[in-house]
Amino acid sequence: MPGIPDYPWYGVIEGDHIEQGDIVESCPIFLPPDNLVIDAGGKPSSATFKWKEQDLIVMSQSCDLVKGREKVDDILLCAIWRRSELAIDPHLGKDSGMEDARKGRMPAFHVLASCVIPGFEREVRVVDFRRVYSLPVAFVRSRTRLSERLRLLPPYREHLSQSFARFFMRVGLPIDIPPFTAKKA
């Protein structure tokens, strides 16, 4: 439409310069055994870790991830799910639940638009703020060198970051003020 600037949701990125909003698909995350016991300073020990594949989105600030001037050792990432993967979810499996998430009524989730870039067609996805991971910067960089990836672009990136902050800083009051409801006649 003439006169309306084009604000695409995604761009396709190549290389290992990572920014907030980069989507790292099929990235392994590692889960130590629940009963892992290690002895600091002792002999090397062995353990069996579980790993699982996860689509992730970078939540760390881009300024902390500048290559060669990193200010963090690990990158903060959140899980993202394809909408079709949530088909059996009691909330997000329904259109009404997705609509609630889209409107921001479920602060634990953030909805990402579908992508129609040729070769990167993706359905609507949901960022899950309850599943947060960290991985070493070098490890994620090595993953990003393997293939091109999608990057969430401004202002959608900042919108995501703000949603995460809102969820993370939530405060539950132990004793809330009773609701101001109308008295029954």
- For the bound state, the minimum distance from the C-beta of residue 116 to other proteins, rounded and expressed in Å, comes to 23
Among 4, 50, 95, 178, contact with other proteins (rule: CB under 8 A): 50
Stretch that binds other proteins, among 15-23, 33-41, 136-144, 148-156 (CB under 8 A): 33-41
Q: Which strand (E) or helix (H) includes residue 163?
A: helix 156-168
Stretch that binds other proteins, among 10-18, 103-111, 135-143, 146-154 (CB under 8 A): 103-111
Among 2, 3, 41, 174, contact with other proteins (rule: CB under 8 A): 41
> Does residue 184 bind other proteins (CB under 8 A)?
no
Q: Is 20 exposed, middle or buried (0-12, 13-18, 19+ CB in 10 A)?
A: buried
Q: Is 10 exposed, middle or buried (0-12, 13-18, 19+ CB in 10 A)?
A: buried
> Does residue 175 bind other proteins (CB under 8 A)?
no
CB contact set of 138 (below 8 Å; sequence gap of 6+): none
155 cis-preceded (ω within 30 degrees of 0): yes
Q: Which positions from 142 to 161 touch other proteins by CB under 8 A, shown as an x/- string?
A: --------------------
Among 1, 3, 95, 170, contact with other proteins (rule: CB under 8 A): 170
Q: Which strand (E) or helix (H) includes residue 76?
A: strand 74-82
* Alpha carbon 58 to its chain's center: 6
The answer to whether the CB of 56 falls within 8 A of the CB of 63 is: no
Binding site for other proteins (CB under 8 A): 26, 30, 38-42, 44-54, 63, 71, 73, 79, 81, 85-86, 88-89, 91-92, 100, 104-109, 128, 130-131, 170, 172, 179-182
